[in-house]
Chains A and B, each alone.
Chain A
């Protein structure tokens, strides 16, 4: 009998411990103190190396001492999965940072995002349409990277090739890459990273194409171009990039490639790496990304490129008393004041007014030429991905197509028609 009592007591203790595990934690309803001060929680990632969250939180708190913004740090690679899990469990943060646009519809359709259409935004801010579903805004952009062309002035000088001048189409870019490769000893003309965006992003934006339409013939010239460049040795092949896990920071930073099409986030990285000695010390500049044809080239035109914004949405289950403060924070993050703060640490804000761009290029180590500031400020940045619940599935199929073509496992035409068939059969067309 005694043993049974002991065993039962043991089980009871175990069960209590289990029950204890499941009942802890804060819901998003907390954070309102009796004196009226508020605490907003905000989801971020790699807070140590991504200073923008803390910067915005501190700047906002300074203006509004009653409101404290606390950052919940998530792992960057599993960010969307982890935030999704927290939201599904009803324990998500008040402000949800939208790291990738393709997840916006998942959150929105799941009823996790508050309508933020009434948040006032400054004129000219980019990336707003990426957060709109049927005309209703579900997040506010504060940052918008767009893709530009980085070039190493020292290698261009060494090869005797003219710098890009903003008039380039892809043909000019190809010619320069070939010329640089043959003139330089050991370095390649350009480096194209293995991501599908580094090719499909340009094809989509410059053809104003909709990947949900299920027709990808317009990508063919882009693939043929890149295949020719890798066959000629003017850029490292896709297979070498993936097998040897080459990084774009390493290839451009250590002068193994003279050009690099990349997002504007690389500006801050390159400056930091040069000052830390991780990258070689050389002069570099930024040019608009080469264009499909000359209708959008030249510094009196607006070059077309792509890029997705990063923005803040509000948890639909937020405590009602905190909604106004959260919306006010969103408006602040999109404002010129916040944009200037962000630009000062090398981040490309969604709002690019003259003072913001000035702050952006005031960072020590950044390029000072006119074309660089033109490239950063002037562009028509189309969204990389449409905001739809089909985007993720279509992207996966296009990624398979991308690796099949560039690894030269499959011909361009075959791979494209296979992808078109898969999208029609597995995802369905609108």
Chain B
């Protein structure tokens, strides 16, 4: 009797233990998951449904299949917003990486007042966007702004109109957003630079490598995980740029700085066309996902080598 009961009881105890552990595990993540589900997951799922309807916020909505997406494909404004978003990203991502990495390399040296400079470079990141927009609008003012005064001083008789010119508004926005973001990414690069093994640099120096060779062959490869993280974050943030442009130019002059997020905002909150705005959000969502997947795949192939 006892010989058969013992293994049974043991297995029952094991399964009880497993249930208990599973329940405990779930209970640990549940509070966080509840928040995530109610504030993110469910709204995103609802968004997908809304993109297939003609919902205008009040009352019931009609299911219209992929009509919104067909309309997007032939919408000139959406195309402009899409191109502008890519234009912004293509300028902003490399520029921010170069500037923030350059700053990190510079402030990784033991120079006098390094803590002050690091703090100073980080400040724009924590400054209010509205304040940034106000001040930069004044700096870039075409007739009275200090930037054009300086350009005129150096003999450029016809300086650009910056935020008030359709050709220069996007480059101006990129300059401002790079200035704003560089501090944050600099901190990430600074942290990563601390992890580059000193011995590698010493060995390279023994082999006669100059500063540039040491940078490309030792520093850069050691920074690869951080570089990957920075690129992914920067890409997603660039694709969904919104607030800065809204307060700086409101998408103008004309449509020269209208980006996808602003298109969504206009259609949804200004024109109450929430179904259509949701469809544009879904496009932006997939754009972010696809670019990120490509980056992950590329990184994995690089790591495998």
Binding site for B on A (CB under 8 A): 1, 3-4, 7-8, 10-11, 14-15, 18, 81, 84, 87-88, 106-107, 109-112, 237-240, 242-245, 392-393, 396-397, 399-401, 403-404, 407-410, 415, 421-422, 425-426
1/0 contact string of B136-167 vs chain A (CB within 8 Å): 01101111110000000000000001111111
- Can you list 8 contacts pairing A with B, beta carbon distance less than 8 Å? A10-B27, A239-B143, A240-B141, A245-B134, A400-B255, A403-B253, A422-B77, A425-B74
Assess the A110–B253 pair: CB atoms within 8 A.
no
Q: What are the 9 A-B residue pairs with the smallest beta carbon separation, nearest first?
A: A110-B58, A404-B254, A409-B166, A239-B164, A403-B252, A407-B253, A7-B27, A243-B141, A403-B253
Assess the B254–A392 pair: CB atoms within 8 A.
no
Q: How far is the CA of A424 from the CA of B20 in the complex (A)?
A: 64
Given A109-B56, A110-B59, also A409-B20 (CB < 8 A): no
Q: How far is the CA of A84 from the CA of B58 in the complex (A)?
A: 8
Please tell me which one of the listed residues B27, B75, B162 contacts residue A11 in the complex, with CB atoms under 8 A apart.
Answer: B27
Which DSSP category, helix, strand, loop or mixed, fits chain A's interface? helix
Assess the A410–B166 pair: CB atoms within 8 A.
yes
Please tell me which one of the listed residues A1, A11, A392, A425 contacts residue B272 in the complex, with CB atoms under 8 A apart.
Answer: A392
Given A407-B166, A422-B76, also A18-B38 (CB < 8 A): yes
Closest CB-CB distance, A123 to chain B, in whole Å?
34
B24 at the interface (CB under 8 A from A): yes
Q: How far is the CA of A422 from the CA of B164 in the complex (A)?
A: 22
Closest-by-CB residue of B relative to A103 is B272
Assess the B254–A401 pair: CB atoms within 8 A.
yes
Residues from chain A with Cβ under 8 Å of B74 in the complex:
425
Given A4-B20, A18-B34, A396-B266, also A410-B59 (CB < 8 A): no
Please tell me which one of the listed residues B34, B56, B75, B167 contacts residue A106 in the complex, with CB atoms under 8 A apart.
Answer: B56
Q: How far is the CA of A107 from the CA of B57 in the complex (A)?
A: 10
Q: How far is the CA of A426 from the CA of B164 in the complex (A)?
A: 25
B106 at the interface (CB under 8 A from A): no
Please tell me which one of the listed residues A10, A106, A407, A408 contacts residue B252 in the complex, with CB atoms under 8 A apart.
Answer: A407
Which DSSP category, helix, strand, loop or mixed, fits chain B's interface? loop
Assess the B34–A14 pair: CB atoms within 8 A.
yes
Closest CB-CB distance, B38 to chain A, in whole Å?
7
1/0 contact string of B191-231 vs chain A (CB within 8 Å): 00000000000000000000000000000000000000000
Q: How far is the CA of A8 from the CA of B59 in the complex (A)?
A: 38
Given A4-B24, A110-B56, also A11-B256 (CB < 8 A): no
B: contact size bracket: 35 or more
Q: How far is the CA of A361 from the CA of B30 in the complex (A)?
A: 66
Assess the B167–A396 pair: CB atoms within 8 A.
no
Given A84-B272, A110-B59, A243-B142, also A404-B253 (CB < 8 A): yes
Binding site for A on B (CB under 8 A): 20, 23-24, 27-28, 30-31, 34, 38, 56-59, 74-77, 134, 137-138, 140-145, 161-167, 251-256, 258, 266, 269-273
Assess the B164–A242 pair: CB atoms within 8 A.
yes
Residues from chain B with Cβ under 8 Å of A4 in the complex:
20, 23-24, 27
Residues from chain A with Cβ under 8 Å of B144 in the complex:
240, 244
Residues from chain A with Cβ under 8 Å of B77 in the complex:
397, 422, 426
Residues from chain A with Cβ under 8 Å of B143 in the complex:
237, 239-240
Q: How far is the CA of A404 from the CA of B167 in the complex (A)?
A: 11
Assess the B254–A403 pair: CB atoms within 8 A.
yes
Closest CB-CB distance, B158 to chain A, in whole Å?
13
Extra A-B contacts (16), CB below 8 Å, given A18-B34, A397-B77, A400-B254: A84-B57, A84-B58, A88-B57, A88-B58, A106-B57, A244-B137, A244-B144, A393-B273, A396-B270, A404-B253, A409-B167, A410-B253, A410-B254, A422-B77, A425-B74, A425-B75
Closest CB-CB distance, A87 to chain B, in whole Å?
7
Assess the A243–B167 pair: CB atoms within 8 A.
no
Given A4-B24, A400-B255, A401-B254, also A81-B269 (CB < 8 A): yes
Assess the B24–A404 pair: CB atoms within 8 A.
no
Assess the A244–B138 pair: CB atoms within 8 A.
yes
Tell which of B28, B253, B255 has the most Cβ of chain A within 10 Å. B253
Closest CB-CB distance, B251 to chain A, in whole Å?
7
Q: How far is the CA of A408 from the CA of B165 in the complex (A)?
A: 8
Q: How far is the CA of A389 from the CA of B113 in the complex (A)?
A: 60
Residues from chain B with Cβ under 8 Å of A111 in the complex:
58-59
Assess the B31–A400 pair: CB atoms within 8 A.
no
Assess the B161–A112 pair: CB atoms within 8 A.
no
Assess the B76–A425 pair: CB atoms within 8 A.
yes
Q: How far is the CA of A386 from the CA of B140 in the complex (A)?
A: 37
Closest-by-CB residue of B relative to A110 is B58
Closest CB-CB distance, B50 to chain A, in whole Å?
13
Assess the A3–B24 pair: CB atoms within 8 A.
yes
Please tell me which one of the listed residues B23, B28, B58 contacts residue A109 in the complex, with CB atoms under 8 A apart.
Answer: B58
Residues from chain A with Cβ under 8 Å of B58 in the complex:
84, 87-88, 106-107, 109-112
Tell which of B74, B138, B142, B164 has the most Cβ of chain A within 10 Å. B164
Residues from chain B with Cβ under 8 Å of A409 in the complex:
161, 164-167, 253-254, 256
Residues from chain B with Cβ under 8 Å of A407 in the complex:
161, 164-166, 252-254
Please tell me which one of the listed residues A15, A84, A239, A426 contacts residue B75 in the complex, with CB atoms under 8 A apart.
Answer: A426
Tell which of A88, A107, A242 has the most Cβ of chain B within 10 Å. A242
Q: How far is the CA of A263 from the CA of B220 in the complex (A)?
A: 61
Tell which of A397, A399, A407, A421 has the most Cβ of chain B within 10 Å. A407
Closest-by-CB residue of A relative to B273 is A393
Given A242-B164, A243-B145, also A106-B272 (CB < 8 A): yes
